[in-house]
Amino acid sequence: MVKEIGLAAIGECMLELSAAQNDTWRMGIAGDTLNTLWALRALLPGARCDYVTAFGDDHFSERQKAFLAENGIGYASSPVIPGARPGLYAITLDGVERSFTYWRSDSAARQLASDPAALEKSLSNLRLAYVSGITLAILDEPARRILIDALGKARNAGTLVAFDPNYRARLWASRDYAQQEINAALAVSDIVLPTFPDESELYGDASPEATMQRIASAGVAEIVVKNGTEDALVLFDGIAGTSPASRAEGAIDTTGAGDAFNGGYLAARLNGMDGVAAAHRAHSTAAAVVCVRGALAPFDLLRTAYGCGTEPSAA
């Protein structure tokens, strides 16, 4: 079991509205990189977990900080921005598939790099730092440069940097610009966790194998290409393998499934598993999340799902 190590995820902690009964809504707290850190917190209970973001000074920002603290997650040296407030999203379900409506244009998290020294302090002395393409997309270009430089410095000091490109077209000015900025993040990443449909939309990749080859050609040694209910492709220790997706009995909401997969994978890798075995555990973790409403599953459910798998041999 991993103990006494530092883990951090960087991004936007949002208010989440999910439908309840009789046209009422339940408010939670979530966000793509927070969802991954949540899984890491569940699966590596001995690790120190911090969410690196920026908060407003309003009531809802205080609720966010209290929620993190209640669940054993710190927020390092994340700044408080006077007058700012959190972003908000609502989940709409069509069967088990989800779509989102966002209110985030003035989110406090857009200023997470407003204090470069504080950001570097938040990313110091870590075993793992995790970031996504959504984090990159909500920042303006100077802030994005500050973040990527801070990740590069942390990596040079021995921190593993994990990155999910998580492309969302509506957050970027153009495909070309998104490619440029995501490529800059690939250059400071040790582990990359893309989703094939996103990569096909952004880069025109014809297959998951093409996605893996393109990212590997950028110098990334460890890659897992997720593909929904299809096999994941894994590049680990110079060898390509596959990991079949787990069937989710009783699925009701796919929100956060890919984020939970990332958390399960990274937890397994930090616990010493190889890439294919880690992807197998990650599929089990993702299958648990789709059986609950919203992005965050109870810690006990995640731990049970993660621990029930067996390690398959590499393909």
pLDDT score, position 91: 80
115 in catalytic set: no
Weakly modelled stretches of the chain, pLDDT under 70: 1-4, 21, 93, 95-98, 248, 250-253, 308-315
Q: Are the CB atoms for 144 and 173 separated by under 8 Å?
A: no
* This prediction's pTM: 0.92
pLDDT score, position 314: 30
pLDDT score, position 312: 34
Q: Which amino acid is at 272?
A: G
pLDDT score, position 95: 61
Euclidean distance between the first and the last CA atom of the chain, given in angstroms as a whole number: 26
- Angle, vertex CA 232, rays to CA 180 and CA 186, nearest 5: 20
pLDDT score, position 93: 67
Question: Considering 115, 198, 259, 300, which one is annotated as catalytic?
Answer: 259
pLDDT score, position 291: 77
CATH topology of domain 3-307: UDP-N-acetylmuramoyl-L-alanine:D-glutamate ligase (3.40.1190)
pLDDT score, position 98: 65
Could you tell me the residue ranges of all domains in the chain? Answer: 3-307
pLDDT score, position 241: 96
